[in-house]
Structure 1
């Protein structure tokens, strides 16, 4: 049964946390339950990373990046990602993009553009957004804030399983090393680093099912 909270006023839910914690899956379930617009900010960064890799763009050339952003359109329609009006959702979870997305997300001109776009999307609708800096930067006045995490071993296993299902031949230890590297990049970057907002509720998903975590978060909201 869908919550009637939407009938009262516009709300926003911010979900932050490291890679592999289950943020996107949980956010989608909550969005469906509460009839909210779901914004996958991580997929937005993956979309621009996809374009940068595809077009062999030099990350050190700021003028080139600014021109790229000026001629880039990213839309989210029914949970799918459109890059310059082309559907690319199924191209965003590759090992290559996993490797580069944190580097791309550190670049100030890209991050500023993405945050501006995310805030614009959230301006006139009730939303749930997940990412690294939602509660701290994108939606600092969010109605509800959650920080979702899990042990590095469990996060690596989840990402490994996801890659196997999609047909990528990966080594579990390599996947774990990549996640540890990404954690370091995300938490140590200068602009909008990954951190728990002081008002965010900490939710450790280690050993919990997706439904258990979803129910736990919904209990706080209701």
Structure 2
């Protein structure tokens, strides 16, 4: 396994922004595992599959081909980088990603990428399940109100008309679902460094992580 920096945390904590910047500063590959699950969720929705029919979802997974780079996500050759941020994907990705055979396939792909290049990888089970043996594990968190604010400011977010209260409740619901699911629940690895970014800038968080890695 090459060098792996694992960054886990709940929705809106800033994982993607931080991981992407840390990767750039260290000259490493940025892997957004959430984008992988979103890509398959979009694929399932585009195929008009019955989301309650796991046999149908499993069959679609067998024919699913994913290509992911720093700034581009392709499913079976089609660029879906923008589409994976659509609201219907956001609504269903937590459920799709909780299906055991979906998660097992994605973890397999993530580990394969980690064999071939130095990566900064972010998600919800990176330090606990995907790369439990990496030395560099961080759990990025923030107050739920701050996370809601960040989500509403996110340029990629399709929910700009959603109220602060609605966004806060949505994040809390996602937190509850992610942390209580049976397969790879969201939780801080025992040896991960906790970073509360509520009152920190992106640059401060990145500097802290890089200092830990280099230190």
Task: Report 1:90-169 matches (<5 A).
Answer: 90-162=82-154, 168-169=160-161
Aligned CA distance change for structure 1 residues 75 and 164 (closer, same or farther; 3 Å): closer
Shift of 1:163: 5.7
Give, in whole Å, the separation in 2 of the partners of 1:45 and 1:166.
Answer: 18
Aligned CA distance change for structure 1 residues 146 and 164 (closer, same or farther; 3 Å): closer
Aligned CA distance change for structure 1 residues 191 and 206 (closer, same or farther; 3 Å): same
Give, in whole Å, the separation in 2 of the partners of 1:78 and 1:165.
Answer: 19
Shift of 1:62: 2.3
TM-score normalised according to structure 1 size: 0.91
Higher mean alpha-carbon deviation, 184-193 vs 84-93, is at 84-93
Query: For 1:92, what is the secondary structure of its paired residue?
Result: helix
The superposition leaves residues 142-201 of structure 1 with CA deviations (integer Å, 9 ceiling, x where unpaired) of 130000000000001111112687574222211111111110110000011000001100
Asked if 1:57 corresponds to 2:49, the answer is yes
Match of 1:218 in 2: 210
Asked if 1:16 corresponds to 2:8, the answer is yes
Shift of 1:94: 2.4
Match of 1:199 in 2: 191
Answer yes or no: is the 8 Å Cα contact 2:5–2:134 preserved in 1: yes
- Out of 14, 17, 22, the residue aligned to residue 30 of structure 1 is 22
Provide structure 2 residue ranges, at least 5 long, that are not aligned to the other structure: none
The superposition leaves residues 47-76 of structure 1 with CA deviations (integer Å, 9 ceiling, x where unpaired) of 111112222212232221121011111111
Answer yes or no: is the 8 Å Cα contact 1:164–1:170 preserved in 2: no
TM-score normalised according to structure 2 size: 0.94
Answer yes or no: is the 8 Å Cα contact 2:23–2:120 preserved in 1: yes
